[in-house]
C-alpha cells in the first residue's frame, strides 16, 4: 500500500491532541515499527485508517500505548550495576546526617526499579530513619503501568530477580502473589510525568532513568538530559540503562562508572550556603508584622504579578504590574476579563482557565509587546494555579517577567557565537564528523537494545503461552488416564460377562430390540452346532438350528414390549448330533431400568431323559 509520508506524522499529532502523549521526539524507525505491529493486530493497513479506528474504538488507545511503551523491567535488573549502587552510591547518601534523601525513578513502568531503590536504601537505614528521610518519586506516561505499580503486588515470575531473603523481609504473601511491605510502599509516590513536556522534579539526590532515553531521537534526548541536570542537586547521581552513554553531554555529567552507566552532575558553581537566621524575638514576631512583610514582598517583586480568584475577580497586583500595565488598587475586585491586561499583550483568560482546570503551571516563553511610541518589550509569562490545603482551587497567580534585556543579551551572545563558530569552522567540521559517527554508533546500540527489549517482551508472552499449553496438556493427560481406566473397567466387565456366559451349561442367546443376536455362548454352540461368529448379528427367527424358533417369536415380542413376568415353554428339538430332545426355553426381558427394555435373553435348557 502506498503510504504518504505525512500520514504517520498526522497520526502522532492526533495522539498528542486526543490523549496528551507526545511521541514526536521518539525515534521514527522504532516508533513506526511498534505502531505497525498494533495495526496488524487489529487488521488495519494504513495510518489514516488506523486514526479512524482509534476515533471509533477509544479502548484501542490503551492497547496502542501498551505496544509502543515497552514495559520490560524487573527487580534489580542488571545485578552488577545494582551491586555498584549499593556499594558506592547508597552509603554516601545515608552518611549525610539526617538530611532527606530524594530519589526520582523516571520511566518507572510497573514500579520494580523504584521499589528496588527503596529496598537498597532500607538495607542501609533503620526503619525509623527510612520513614523519616526517604522520599522516592516514580513517574511514567503509561497510566495502566502506574496503576499496577501503585498496587505493589507481583506474581512469582515477576519476583524471580529477588533472593529469598529480600522476599521474606520486604514482601507479604497475598494468595499466589506477594505485596510489598506497607512502610516501603508509603515511601514511593507515583505520578504521571512526560519527560518531553512536563517540568522535572527538583532537588534530587539520585535519578534512575534506565533504558528510556534510547527511544528518543538525539534532539529530544538532549532536551531531557538538560532537564535531568536541572533536577539533580549539586553532585547528584544519574543511573542510566546499559545502552545509554551521555558521551555528547560531558559538560553536564561526568562518569562515575561508565561501564555500569553511573554519572555525577558536573560542578556548576559553588553551592549556596544558607546560614541559620536567629529567631526574631519580641514584638517583631507579631502576626501583623509578618503580614505586612509578605504584602510588601509581593508589591516590590521585580516581576509584574497578579492574583486572580477562582471566581474571576482580580485580588491583587504589585507595583511592577502597575508600572507596566496600569493595574492599580482601584482595579482590585473587578472582573479580570474587563481589564485590558486580560487580553493584551497576551490572551491570559484561557491560560488561567487551563492552569486552574489542569492544576499545572502554564508557560509562554516568547511574548512580544509593542507599546505605542516605545521600544518593543519581550515578556515571559507564567500562570501558576493556587490550591488550598483541602485541594480546593483558590485561583491563580500570573507572573509577567520583562526579559527584554535578556533577549538582547541572547542576541548579542548568538552573534558572538556565530563569529566564534566561523573562526573554528574547520575544527568544528571535523568534530561534527566525529560526533555524527558517534551518534550513529550510539543509535545502533540503542536500536539493538530496543530490539532486545521487544524480543524479551515477546519471550515473556511465549513463556505465558507455554505455561498455558502445559496446563492444558496436564488436563488432557488426566482425561486420557481417566479414559484408559474406564476402558480397562469395560474390558474387565466384558471379560467377566464372557466368562459367565461360557460357564453356563445351558444355551444362552441375547437379542436386541430388533431381535438381532447380540450374544451367543458356548452352551448354544454345543447344543445346536452354530458358532458364535455365525450367529452374531443374525435375526433370531432366521437361525438354522434344531429348535423351532417360530413359537418363540411371540414370547420374545412380549418381553421386548415390557411384559412383567418371564415366559417359559417346552419345545421338541434336534441337537447338533441329530438326536431328538426336549428343551425348556425361558425368555426374559433385558432392562436398563425399571421402565427401559433394551433386549431379551433366551435361556435354552435341555430336559434330562
268, pLDDT greater than 70: no
Residue 156's Cβ-count burial label (10 Å; 0-12, 13-18, 19+) is: exposed
The mean per-residue pLDDT over the stretch 463-482 comes to 88
pLDDT for the residue 438: 77
Averaged confidence pLDDT in the chain: 83
Strand ranges across the sheet with 580-591:
517-520, 507-512, 597-606, 580-591, 567-574
Listed range (272-281, 555-564, 570-579) with the worst mean pLDDT: 272-281
Rg (CA), the chain: 44
pLDDT category at 393 given cuts 50, 70, 90 is confident
pLDDT category at 265 given cuts 50, 70, 90 is very high
Cell 553531554 -> residue:
249
pLDDT for the residue 275: 37
Give 204 or 504, the one with higher predicted confidence.
204
C-alpha cell at 53: 479506528
Instruction: Identify whether the C-beta of residue 118 lies closer than 8 Å to the C-beta of residue 136.
Output: yes
Gap between the Cα atoms of 92 and 95, Å rounded = 5
351, pLDDT greater than 90: no
Strand partners, 112: none
Short-list 306, 502, 280, 476, CA closest to 386 = 306
pLDDT category at 272 given cuts 50, 70, 90 is very low
Condensed to tens digits (0 to 9), the pLDDT of residues 298-327 reads 677 788 888 999 888 988 888 888 877 888
137, pLDDT greater than 70: yes
pLDDT category at 143 given cuts 50, 70, 90 is confident
What are the φ and ψ backbone dihedral angles of 326, each rounded to 5 degrees?
Answer: 70, 20
pLDDT for the residue 103: 95
- In the Cβ-directed half-sphere of 401, how many Cα atoms lie within 13 Å? 13
281, pLDDT greater than 50: no
pLDDT for the residue 609: 63
pLDDT for the residue 454: 83
C-alpha cell at 504: 453356563
Gap between the Cα atoms of 171 and 145, Å rounded = 20
| Per-residue 3-state assignment (H helix, E strand, C coil) for 396-408 | EEEEEEECHHHHH
Scanning 108-193, the segments in alpha helix (DSSP H) are: 112-122, 127-133, 143-151, 164-170, 182-185
What's CA 61's distance to the chain center, in Å? Answer: 13
Give 605 or 97, the one with higher predicted confidence.
605
pLDDT category at 243 given cuts 50, 70, 90 is low
pLDDT for the residue 189: 93
Gap between the Cα atoms of 447 and 443, Å rounded = 6
Give the DSSP per-residue string, 218-235: HHHHHHHHHHHHHHEEEE
Strand partners, 220: none
The mean per-residue pLDDT over the stretch 505-528 comes to 88
Query: CB count, 10 Å around CB of 340?
Result: 10
In the chain, pLDDT over 90 holds for what percent of residues?
22
Between strands 567-574 and 580-591, the pairing is antiparallel
179, pLDDT greater than 90: yes
Short-list 7, 142, 10, 150, CA closest to 64 = 142
Short-list 383, 243, 376, 359, CA closest to 303 = 383
Gap between the Cα atoms of 90 and 113, Å rounded = 15
Short-list 13, 169, 1, 191, CA closest to 105 = 191
Instruction: Identify whether the C-beta of residue 98 lies closer than 8 Å to the C-beta of residue 133.
Output: yes
Give the DSSP per-residue string, 186-216: TTEEEEE--TTTSPPP-SEEEEEE-S-GGGB
Instruction: Identify whether the C-beta of residue 104 lies closer than 8 Å to the C-beta of residue 204.
Output: yes
The sign one gets for the Cα dihedral 292, 295, 297, 302 is negative
Gap between the Cα atoms of 556 and 550, Å rounded = 10
Gap between the Cα atoms of 528 and 211, Å rounded = 91
576, pLDDT greater than 60: yes
Instruction: Identify whether the C-beta of residue 262 lies closer than 8 Å to the C-beta of residue 237.
Output: yes
pLDDT for the residue 91: 94
Strand partners, 382: 363, 399
Q: Which of 220-229, 281-290, 407-416, 482-491 has the highest mean pLDDT?
A: 220-229
pLDDT category at 435 given cuts 50, 70, 90 is confident
pLDDT for the residue 54: 87
Amino acid at each position: 500500500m502506498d503510504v504518504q509520508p505525512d500520514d504517520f506524522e498526522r497520526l502522532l499529532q492526533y495522539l498528542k491532541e486526543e490523549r496528551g502523549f507526545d511521541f514526536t521526539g521518539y525515534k521514527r524507525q522504532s516508533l513506526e515499527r511498534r505502531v505497525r505491529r498494533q495495526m496488524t493486530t487489529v487488521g488495519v493497513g494504513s495510518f489514516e485508517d488506523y486514526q479512524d479506528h482509534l476515533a471509533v474504538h477509544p479502548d484501542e488507545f490503551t492497547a496502542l500505548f501498551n505496544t509502543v511503551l515497552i514495559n520490560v523491567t524487573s527487580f534489580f535488573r542488571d545485578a552488577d550495576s545494582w551491586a555498584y549502587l549499593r556499594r558506592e552510591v547508597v552509603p554516601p547518601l545515608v552518611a549525610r546526617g539526617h538530611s532527606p534523601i530524594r530519589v526520582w525513578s523516571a520511566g518507572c513502568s510497573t514500579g520494580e526499579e523504584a521499589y528496588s531503590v527503596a529496598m537498597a536504601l532500607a538495607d542501609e537505614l533503620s526503619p525509623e530513619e527510612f520513614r523519616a528521610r526517604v522520599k522516592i518519586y516514580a513517574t511514567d506516561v503509561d497510566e495502566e503501568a502506574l496503576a499496577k505499580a501503585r498496587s505493589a503486588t507481583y506474581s512469582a515470575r515477576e519476583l524471580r530477580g529477588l533472593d529469598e531473603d529480600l522476599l521474606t523481609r520486604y514482601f507479604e504473601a497475598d494468595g499466589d502473589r506477594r505485596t510489598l511491605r506497607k512502610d516501603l510502599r508509603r515511601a514511593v509516590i507515583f505520578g504521571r510525568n512526560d519527560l518531553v513536556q512536563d517540568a522535572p522534579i527538583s532537588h534530587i539526590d539520585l535519578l534512575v532513568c534506565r533504558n528510556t532515553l534510547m527511544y528518543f531521537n538525539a534532539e529530544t534526548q538532549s532536551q531531557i538530559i538538560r532537564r535531568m541536570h536541572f533536577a539533580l542537586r549539586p553532585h547528584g547521581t544519574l543511573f542510566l540503562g546499559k545502552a545509554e552513554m551521555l558521551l555528547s553531554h560531558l559538560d553536564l555529567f561526568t562518569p562515575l562508572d561508565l561501564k555500569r552507566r553511573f554519572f555525577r552532575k558536573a560542578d556548576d558553581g559553588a553551592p549556596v550556603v544558607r546560614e541559620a537566621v536567629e529567631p526574631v524575638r519580641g514584638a517583631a514576631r507579631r502576626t501583623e508584622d509578618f503580614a505586612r512583610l509578605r504584602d510588601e514582598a509581593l508589591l516590590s517583586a521585580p516581576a509584574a504579578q497578579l492574583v486572580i480568584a477562582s471566581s474571576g475577580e482580580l485580588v491583587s497586583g504589585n507595583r511592577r504590574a502597575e508600572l507596566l500595565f496600569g493595574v492599580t488598587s482601584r482595579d482590585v475586585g473587578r472582573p479580570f476579563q474587563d481589564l485590558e491586561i486580560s487580553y493584551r499583550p497576551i490572551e491570559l483568560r484561557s491560560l488561567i482557565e487551563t492552569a486552574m482546570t489542569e492544576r499545572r503551571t502554564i508557560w509562554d516563553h516568547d511574548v512580544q509587546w509593542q507599546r505605542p511610541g516605545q521600544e518593543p518589550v519581550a515578556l515571559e509569562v507564567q500562570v501558576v494555579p493556587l490550591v488550598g490545603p483541602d485541594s480546593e482551587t483558590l485561583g491563580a497567580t500570573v507572573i509577567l517577567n520583562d526579559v527584554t534585556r535578556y533577549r538582547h543579551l541572547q542576541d548579542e551572545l548568538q552573534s558572538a557565537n556565530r563569529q566564534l563558530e566561523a573562526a573554528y569552522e574547520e575544527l568544528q567540521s571535523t568534530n561534527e564528523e566525529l560526533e555524527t559517527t558517534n551518534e550513529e554508533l550510539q543509535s545502533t546500540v540503542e536500536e539493538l537494545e530496543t530490539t532486545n527489549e521487544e524480543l524479551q517482551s515477546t519471550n515473556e508472552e511465549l513463556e505465558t503461552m507455554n505455561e498455558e499449553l502445559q496446563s492444558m496438556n496436564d488436563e488432557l493427560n488426566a482425561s486420557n488416564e481417566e479414559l484408559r481406566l474406564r476402558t480397562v473397567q469395560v474390558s474387565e466387565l466384558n471379560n467377566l460377562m464372557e466368562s459367565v456366559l461360557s460357564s453356563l451349561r445351558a444355551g444362552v442367546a441375547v437379542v436386541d430390540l430388533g431381535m438381532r443376536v447380540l450374544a451367543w455362548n458356548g452352551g448354544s454352540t454345543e447344543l445346536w452346532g452354530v458358532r458364535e461368529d455365525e450367529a452374531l448379528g443374525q435375526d433370531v427367527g432366521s437361525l438354522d438350528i434344531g429348535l423351532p424358533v417360530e413359537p418363540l417369536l411371540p414370547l420374545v415380542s412380549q418381553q421386548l414390549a415390557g411384559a412383567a413376568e418371564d415366559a417359559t415353554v417346552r419345545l421338541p428339538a434336534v441337537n447338533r448330533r441329530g438326536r431328538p430332545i426336549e428343551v425348556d426355553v425361558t425368555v426374559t426381558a433385558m432392562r436398563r431400568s425399571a421402565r427401559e427394555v433394551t433386549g431379551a435373553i433366551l435361556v435354552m435348557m435341555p430336559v434330562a431323559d
